[in-house]
């Protein structure tokens, strides 16, 4: 394991992406002894409504969500978040710090379970709501299945339930990448178009967002602290992720979800499968889905009209809980 950030847990605070005031940052250790960076913010306005536990997608980091954290705080929520193992300001798991790696997808459950026990329960006011994006969205669904008492509700942005344009099914891809990993290729990178480095020239036709200012904000943070960035996933990560996605496609999977879930999908998403989100949404008894017209993958980083729809859906979903 490698600690790659000489700045410690400190967050990047720059003019184009100012850090919300009143935050607390630090490290905590998971149950399997991986050091993760975390941050907490108290509510800023209104009566207290609980705590949002915000979990990111692959390659992301706490700083990317400053604007969204401020949105939640204005609604009366405290916010708690952390960087997954192998990315952001958390420990890297292999010698190549720019490659995305995890041994098993269940390791993300270890991260979230440890965060809940070490940080959320002792330091944050209940009730707890889980908000997850992309890879973090898939991890959130499994968290809701593994422990139905941890969170009251789960709100998901473009959860990574399947990837389109693959040569095989999710189960077939899991078997293929698992075989490659078994043959010693697990730490080799898997090239994907959306893993191109961020920059001014890569905004045109990018699959993430139609908002240039928010896109460049992420670029500015990475320029300020390059150690936050990771690039392509490894074959081992792909094997773990495909296996989790294959499990999510199983016929009985929707019946295992007992916590209320709302999934949002982008109609123009080219990173994860919108149709897979729709299919699961139609089959869940305790959940539903909404497809947002014109939206690309990163719903929280999209244009103001799209973000407005995302936050309106969040408000309505949480209001149901308190009604």
Per-residue pLDDT tens digits for 117-152: 999 999 999 999 999 999 999 999 999 999 999 999
Q: What pLDDT is stored for residue 45 in this prediction?
A: 80
Q: What is the mean pLDDT of residues 66-77?
A: 97
DSSP class per residue in 137-157: HHHHHHHHHH-TTS-SEEEEE
* Homologous superfamily of the 24-322 domain (CATH): Alpha/Beta hydrolase fold, catalytic domain (3.40.50.1820)
What average pLDDT does range 256-266 have in this prediction? Answer: 97
Among residues 113, 26, 59, the alpha carbon closest in space to that of 230 is found at 59
**Average of pLDDT values for 67-82?**
97
**3-state percent breakdown (helix, strand, coil) of the chain, nearest 5:** 40, 15, 45
Q: For the segment 3-45, what is each residue's pLDDT rounded down to a tens digit?
A: 656 668 999 999 999 999 999 999 999 999 999 999 999 998 8
The crossing angle, in degrees rounded to 10, of helices 106-115 and 135-146 is 70
Which pair of tokens denotes residue 139? 């991890």
Q: Structure tokens of 174? A: 């899991």
3-state secondary structure of 65: helix
List, for residues 264-320, the tens digit of each pLDDT value.
Answer: 999 999 999 999 999 999 999 999 999 999 999 999 999 999 999 999 999 999 977
Q: pTM of this prediction?
A: 0.95
Asked whether residue 215 carries a pLDDT value surpassing 90, the answer given is yes
């Amino acid at each position: 394991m490698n600690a790659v950030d000489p700045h410690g847990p400190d967050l990047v605070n720059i003019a184009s992406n100012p850090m919300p005031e009143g935050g607390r940052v630090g490290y905590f250790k998971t149950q399997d002894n991986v050091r993760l960076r975390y941050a907490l913010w108290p509510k800023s306005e209104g009566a207290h409504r609980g705590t949002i536990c915000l979990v990111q997608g692959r390659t992301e980091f706490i700083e990317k969500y400053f604007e969204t954290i401020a949105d939640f705080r204005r609604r009366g929520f405290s916010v708690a978040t952390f960087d997954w193992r192998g990315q952001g300001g958390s420990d890297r798991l292999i010698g190549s710090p720019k490659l995305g790696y995890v041994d098993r997808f269940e390791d993300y459950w270890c991260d979230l379970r440890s965060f809940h026990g070490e940080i959320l329960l002792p330091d944050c006011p209940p009730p707890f709501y889980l908000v997850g994006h992309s890879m973090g969205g898939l991890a959130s669904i499994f968290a809701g299945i593994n422990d139905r008492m941890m969170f009251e509700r789960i709100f998901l942005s473009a959860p990574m339930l399947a990837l389109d344009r693959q040569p095989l099914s999710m189960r077939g891809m899991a078997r293929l990448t698992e075989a490659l990993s078994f043959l010693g290729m697990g730490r080799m990178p898997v090239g994907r178009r959306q893993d191109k480095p961020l920059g001014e020239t890569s905004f045109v036709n990018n699959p993430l967002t139609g908002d240039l200012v928010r896109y460049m904000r992420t670029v500015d943070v990475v320029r300020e602290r390059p150690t936050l960035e990771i690039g392509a996933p490894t074959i081992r990560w792909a094997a773990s992720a495909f296996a989790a996605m294959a499990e999510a496609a199983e016929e009985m999977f929707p019946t295992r979800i007992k916590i209320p879930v709302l999934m949002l999908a982008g109609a123009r998403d080219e990173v994860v499968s919108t149709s897979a989100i729709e299919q699961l949404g139609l089959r869940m008894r305790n959940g539903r889905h909404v497809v947002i017209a014109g939206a690309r993958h990163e719903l929280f980083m999209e244009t103001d009209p799209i973000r407005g729809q995302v936050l309106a859906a969040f408000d309505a979903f949480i209001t149901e809980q308190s009604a």
